[in-house]
Structure 1
Amino acid sequence: MIGIADIEAAAGRIAGHVVRTPTVESPGLSALLGVPVTAKLELLQRTGSFKARGATAKLLSLSEAERAAGVVAVSGGNHGIALAVMARALDVKATVVMPRSAPARAVEVAESAGASVRLTDDMDGAFALTTRLRQEGLTLVHPFDDPVVIAGQGTVGLEVAADAGDLTDVLVSIGGGGLIAGVAAALRALRPGVRVWGVETEGAQAMSGALAAGGPVPVALSSIVSTLSAPAASRLTYEHVSRLVTEVLVVPDREAVRGSLELADHAKVWAEPAAGCLLPAARRVLERVGEGARLGLVVCGGNVTPGDMIAWTDRFGLR
C-alpha cells in the first residue's frame, strides 16, 4: 500500500516541475447541487490533466541508463500527452502507444512534443505492443500500475487535504485507478473522516468489474471516454480501492457529457467527460449521504476539443 510518506516524497521530487493547481469553492456548482462544493482544478495542470504528476515522478526516478535507453507508455490520451511533454522537459526520449480511438489532439500533442507515437487497432493491442517495446529495452511508465506513479498522483490528495475546507465526500474519476488510489491514500492519512467515491462510465468499468470479481479482470470497452478506458485494473490499484474507497459509481456516457456541459455552464471550466461524470455521480452520493454533505470534486482533465463536445452533444441530444 502507498503510504503518506511515499506521497510526500513524490511531492518534494516533482515540485517545480508541475503546477500546484487551484482548490477553490465553486458558487456555481454549490447552487447547482444544493450543497457546498469545492473543485480541485487539475485541468489547469501542465498538459491539461493530473497525469503530469505521476509521469514526472516516474521520470525523475529513472537511472542514467534508463534515461538513455528511453521510456514507453500506453495511453488512451492524457497519460501519453503527459509523458511526451514531461519527457521532453527532462530530456528523455519517449515512445507513446495509443489505440486509434485516442483523441486526435492527444496524438498531435504527443508528436509535437517529440515523442514517437505508435497507433494500434485497440487498447489490447496497445498493451501488447508496449510489452514488446519493453523487451527491446525501453522502460515502462505505466499509467497506473506503478507505486511511483500512484504516489505522484497522490499529491493531488495531499493538496486537497491542505487547501480545501472541511469536506465530507470527495469524488474521483477512475480509469485504471492510479489517481483514486493515490488520492484515497493521502486523504485516509490526512482526512480520515472523508469518504472517497470512485466514478466510472458505462463501458469503461475496469474497477467496478474488479470489485465484483474479487480482483482485476479484463473488461469490454465501449465508452466514448477513452481517457477512462483501461482494459483492466491492476492488483495494486484494486487493493487500494477495495480498502480505501467507499464505493465506485457508474454513469452513462450521456450523463458524463451532460456533466461536462454543466461544468462549463455553472463552474466556468472546460472539462472532458472523464471529469464531467463526477456531477451525475455527485447527485447519487447526495441521495446516499443526505444533508450536511460538503463535496470535493477532482476535475481531472480538460483535454477535449470543441469539435468533440459538439459531436457528443448532438449524438446524445443534449443541445
Structure 2
Amino acid sequence: MDLVPIDDIRAAAADIAATVLRTPLLRTRWDDELWLKPENLQPVGSFKLRGATHAVARLDPARRERGVVTHSSGNHGQALAYAARAAGIPCTVVVPEGAPEVKVAQIRALGATVLLVPPARRLVEAQRVAAETGAELVPPFDDPRIIAGQGTIGLEILDDLPGVEVVLVPVGGGGLSSGVATAVKALRPATAVIGVEPLLAADARDSLAAGRLVPWDVADTYRTCADGLRTGLSELTLAHLRERLDGIVTVTEEEIRAAVGRLARDARLVVEPSGAVAAAARLFRPDELPAGRTVAVLTGGNVDPALLADLVAA
C-alpha cells in the first residue's frame, strides 16, 4: 500500500495557506516542557479544516460543480462545509444520530445539507448520495488528500520548535496521526510521535498490537465522551501508523474530563473532550511517555456548553 510522502504534505501546506489558520505553539505554566498546538482556534474549531481544504483544492475540475459529500460526527462535516462554501460548491454531510447538537447546528449554519442516520449507516448513506448526485465523497480520514492536509500540523510544529522531542496526537480514524507522524518522522526521525486514544475506544491500540484491523463495536466506542474519536482505523491509516507511529497510550474518561477543565482554567482554551486527550496523556500518564520537550495537539473546541460548564467547575 502506498503511503503519503512528505512532498504531498508540503504541497498541501501551499494549498491551504489562504484558508487555514497557522496556529501557534503555546507554553504552559504548569509544565516547563509542554507546548500546546491549539487547533481549536481554527475558523471551524478543529484541525479538520486542513484536510478538507486540501481535498477540495484537489478536486477534479470536471466534478467540482457537483459538490462534495461526507460522513462525520461533526468536526469533519463542519470543515468540509466551510471549505465547500469557500469554493462555491454544494456540500452534504451525513451525521450519525447522537452527535453533539452544537456541531450539527454549525454544519447547517455553514450552508451544508445535513442527513441524520443511525451510526452504523453513516458510510452507506454517504455512498448513496455520492452515487445519486455525482458528488465527490470526501472521507473524514481514509484518503491520502486528508492525511496530507492534516500532516501540515507536523510541519508547523517542527518550524516553531525544531528541537521537539515528543509529539502527542489524538487517534480516532487515524488521518491526523498518520499525517503528523509522516511529517515529523520524515524531517526529524529522532522525535517520538505517540498516539493517544480513549480507553473506551482503544481500537488503534488493539490493531497496532495485532498487526491488523481490530474493529470495536459502535455500542462500545459510544461510551466515551470523546465523540470525535469513536471511529476506527482504516487499512490506509493503519498502514501509516504501523510504519511511522512510535507508540500509543490510552486515557480514561476521568482523565479526559479533567484535562478539559485544566485547559479551560489554566490555559484559557476551550477544548472538547476529543481534543484534550493528548494533554490528558501528558498530565496523567507521564510515566508511559518519552521524556523531553513535548507538543500536545489540541484537535478541537466544539464542545457542548453545558458539558464545558460541568468540566470547568469540577
Q: Provide the TM-score with structure 1 as the length reference.
A: 0.91
Structure 1, unaligned stretches of length 5 or more? none
Contact 2:69 2:138 in 1 (8 A): yes
* Aligned partner letter, 2:88: D
Shift in CA distance, 29/79, structure 1 to aligned 2, threshold 3 Å: farther
For residues 302 and 283 of structure 1, what CA distance do their matches in structure 2 show?
Answer: 19
Q: Aligned Cα RMSD in Å?
A: 1.7
Shift in CA distance, 242/45, structure 1 to aligned 2, threshold 3 Å: same
Q: Which residue of the partner structure matches residue 135 of structure 1? A: 131
Deviation of 1:228 (Å): 1.1
Contact 1:93 1:115 in 2 (8 A): yes
Deviation of 1:251 (Å): 1.3
1:171 to 168, 171, 174: 168
Q: Which residue of the partner structure matches residue 226 of structure 2? A: 225
Deviation of 1:253 (Å): 1.9
Contact 1:24 1:164 in 2 (8 A): no
Map 1:96-107 to 2 at 5 A: 96-107=93-104
How many aligned residue pairs are there? 307
Structure 2, unaligned stretches of length 5 or more? none
For residues 22 and 48 of structure 2, what CA distance do their matches in structure 1 show?
Answer: 13
Q: Which residue of the partner structure matches residue 277 of structure 1? A: 277
For residues 278 and 260 of structure 1, what CA distance do their matches in structure 2 show?
Answer: 11
Q: Which residue of the partner structure matches residue 25 of structure 1? A: 27
* Aligned partner letter, 2:253: D
Query: Which has the higher mean CA deviation after the structures are superposed, 270-279 or 47-56?
Result: 270-279
Q: Which residue of the partner structure matches residue 294 of structure 1? A: 293
Deviation of 1:100 (Å): 1.4
For residues 55 and 282 of structure 1, what CA distance do their matches in structure 2 show?
Answer: 29
Deviation of 1:46 (Å): 2.0
Map 1:211-290 to 2 at 5 A: 211-220=208-217, 221-222=221-222, 223-230=224-231, 232-283=232-283, 286-288=286-288
Q: Which residue of the partner structure matches residue 5 of structure 1? A: 7
Could you list the structure 1 runs, at least 4 aligned residues long, displaced by more than 6 angstroms after superposition. none
Q: Which residue of the partner structure matches residue 113 of structure 2? A: 116
Task: Spell out, residue by residue over 1:1-37, the C-alpha distance to the aligned partner (whole angstroms, 9 max, x if none).
Answer: 11111100111111111111112222x241xxxx411
Map 1:64-83 to 2 at 5 A: 64-83=61-80
Q: Which residue of the partner structure matches residue 304 of structure 1? A: 303
Q: Provide the TM-score with structure 2 as the length reference.
A: 0.93
Deviation of 1:227 (Å): 1.0
SS of 1:102's equivalent in the other structure is: coil
